[in-house]
Structure 1
Amino acid sequence: MIEFAPEIIALLFAAAVAAGFVDAIAGGGGLITVPVLLAVGINPVAAIATNKIQGSFGTASATWTFWRKGRIDFALLKWPLIATVIGAALGAVVVSFVDATWLMVLLPLLLAGIAVYFLVGPKASDEDVHARLTPFAFGTVAGGIGFYDGFFGPGAGSFFALALVTLMGMGLTRATAHTKALNFSSNLVSVVVFAIGGHVLWAIGLIMAVGQVLGGWLGSHAAMRFGPKLIRPLLVVICIGMVIKLLSHPANPLRAWVEGLI
Structure 2
Amino acid sequence: MYFCAMEEWYHYVFLALLGVLVAFINTLAGGGSLLTLPILIFMGLPPSVANGTNRIAILIQGFANIVGYKSKGMQISSRFIWYLSASAIVGTLIGSKLAIEIDERLFNRVLAIVMVVIVTFMVLQPKRSIADIAERLTGKHMIWAVIAFFFIGIYGGFIQAGTGIFILLALSSINKMTLIKSNVIKAVVMTLYTIAALILFGLNGKLDWEIGLTLASGQALGGWITSRWSVNKGDGIVKVLLVIMITIMSIKLWFFN
Q: Which amino acid aligns with 1:40?
A: M
Contact 2:92–2:153 (Cα < 8 Å) also in 1: yes
Equivalent runs, 1:17-96 vs 2, <5 Å: 17-68=20-71, 69-96=73-100
User: 1:131: which partner in 2?
Assistant: 136
- The secondary structure found in structure 1 opposite 2:79 is coil
Alignment of 1:101-250 (within 5 A): 101-122=105-126, 128-131=133-136, 133-249=140-256
Which deviates further from its counterpart, 201-210 or 29-38? 29-38
CA gap of 1:45–1:119, structure 2 versus 1, over 3 A, is: same
CA contact (8 A) 2:66 2:184 kept: yes
TM-score, with length taken from structure 1: 0.87
Identity across the alignment (%): 25
How far apart are residue 196 of structure 1 and its match?
A: 0.7
Distance 2:21 2:147 in 1: 32
> For the Cα contact (< 8 Å) 1:80–1:136, is it kept in 2?
no
Q: Any unmatched runs of 5+ in structure 1?
A: 253-262
Unaligned runs of 5+ in 2: none
The one-character-per-residue Cα deviations of 1:30-54 (angstroms, maximum 9, x if unpaired) are 0121122122222211111111111
How many equivalent pairs are there? 250
Contact 2:156–2:163 (8 Å) recurs in 1:
yes
Provide the rounded CA distance (Å) in 1 between the counterparts of 2:35 and 2:50.
12
Report the RMSD for the aligned CA atoms in angstroms: 2.3
Distance 1:223 1:117, change over 3 A: farther
Contact 1:23 1:59 in 2 (8 A): no
Alignment match, 1:12:
15
Q: Secondary structure at the match of 1:76?
A: helix
Q: Mean alpha-carbon deviation: is it higher for 208-217 or for 148-157?
A: 148-157
Higher RCO (CA < 8 A, seq sep 6+): 2
CA 1:199–1:210: 2 relative to 1, 3 Å: same
- Residues 81-138 of structure 1: CA distance to partner in whole angstroms, max 9, x if unpaired? 1111111111111114434232232222223224323332345999951417343442
